Amino acid sequence: MHRWIKKFSKFSFMIVRCAVVMHFSAWSAVRIRTAIETITADMLQTVWNELDYRVDVCRITKGAHIEHL
C-alpha cells in the first residue's frame, strides 16, 4: 500500500468518527432536553421532601441510619 493511501485512510476514518460523535452529541442533547422538559413541579417537590426527610433521619440518628436514594 502506498504511503499516501495509508494517510488518506487514517484521515477519512477521523472525519467519519468526528461526524458520528457530533451526530451522537446532537442526538443526546435532544434526548436530555426532552427528559428535562418532562420534569414537573410536583416531581421536584417530591424529591425535595424525600431528601429533607432522609437528612432529618440522618441528623437525628447522628448518621447511624443512612439509606441509599
Q: What pLDDT score does 2 carry?
A: 47
Task: Using alpha carbons, select from 14, 9, 15 the residue that is nearest to residue 1.
Answer: 9
Q: What pLDDT score does 57 carry?
A: 85
The full DSSP string for the chain is --HHHHHHHHHHHHHHHHHHHHHHHHHHHHHHHHHHHT--HHHHHHHHHHHHHHHHHHHHTTTS-----
pTM exceeds 0.95, yes or no: no
Q: What is the pLDDT of residues 50-65, one digit of tens each?
A: 999 988 888 888 877 6
Q: What is the pLDDT of residues 1-36, one digit of tens each?
A: 445 445 556 666 677 777 777 777 777 888 888 999
